[in-house]
Amino acid sequence: MPYVTFNGLKYHYLANMPESPGQAVVFIHGSGGSCQHWHHQVAALGRDFLTLAVDLPGHGLSGGKPCDTIEDYREFVYSFAERVLGIPFFLAGHSMGGAVTLDFALSDPDMLAGLILIGTGSRLRVLPSILESFREGNVPENFTSFLYRQDTPEAVLKAAGEDMGKTGSAVFYSDLTACDRFDVSKRLGEIELPAIVITGEKDLMTPVKYGQYLGDHLNNAVFEVVEDSGHMTMLERPAAVNSLINDFMVKNKK
């Protein structure tokens, strides 16, 4: 398992690289997640592109502590990319990771070739009751049901709930606090990079209107809805998501 060390801490990531990688993409997971949420993308897209997915600080197998601002996560991703990549890369983010991606595009656009935004928005407010529940150390009842489409098998929801239990409420509280503070809705017009916005048709966490807003207000974006998919689109419909990402990267090859 690859790690990179900086600031005295080890950070874990997944990676896949073809013999002649012409383009690179870095995947950033959402609140309480890990790089494993991108295993379908790393495996499939890694046949043609240098493909990496990183565990953010305090997540998965990475050291450090989770952050409570998107800016802090963005600074981490900058440091990670600076050490691991030497070429402009595509930055892909899901949910909170999408917020990190947008913030990165506003801060350091010259490092990027394009944006891949999945199940996210320009503003990610969190219900106070959910924040309070995590702050008190409790996982809100049926929280996983908001992450997947309504007909998701019970076994999948149970496994997701167990995974959340391993992550711990403190990590979710930090991440969701970062999301709640995030709002770049008035700055989208500053972003000139090519972007693809992907939203699950049945996403309850970041509904289709969130993605549509990004598609309408980013200067150079295409908007795609993945049918019969909830918030965890990249896990629920990996083939469809991979195809969209592949076509976008090929089209915007530099």
Q: Any idea where the domains of the chain sit in the sequence?
A: 3-251
Strands (DSSP E) found in the chain = 3-6, 9-16, 24-28, 50-54, 89-94, 112-118, 195-200, 221-226
Q: What is the pLDDT of residues 55-70, one digit of tens each?
A: 999 999 999 999 999 9
Q: What is the pLDDT of residues 180-226, one digit of tens each?
A: 999 999 999 999 999 999 999 999 999 999 999 999 999 999 999 99
Burial class of residue 207 (count of CB atoms within 10 Å of its CB; 0-12, 13-18, 19+): middle
Work out the mean pLDDT of the chain and round it to a whole number: 92
Give pLDDT, residue 18.
Answer: 86
Going by pLDDT thresholds of 50, 70 and 90, the confidence category of residue 1 is low
3-251: CATH number: 3.40.50.1820
CA pair distance 244, 251, nearest whole angstrom: 11
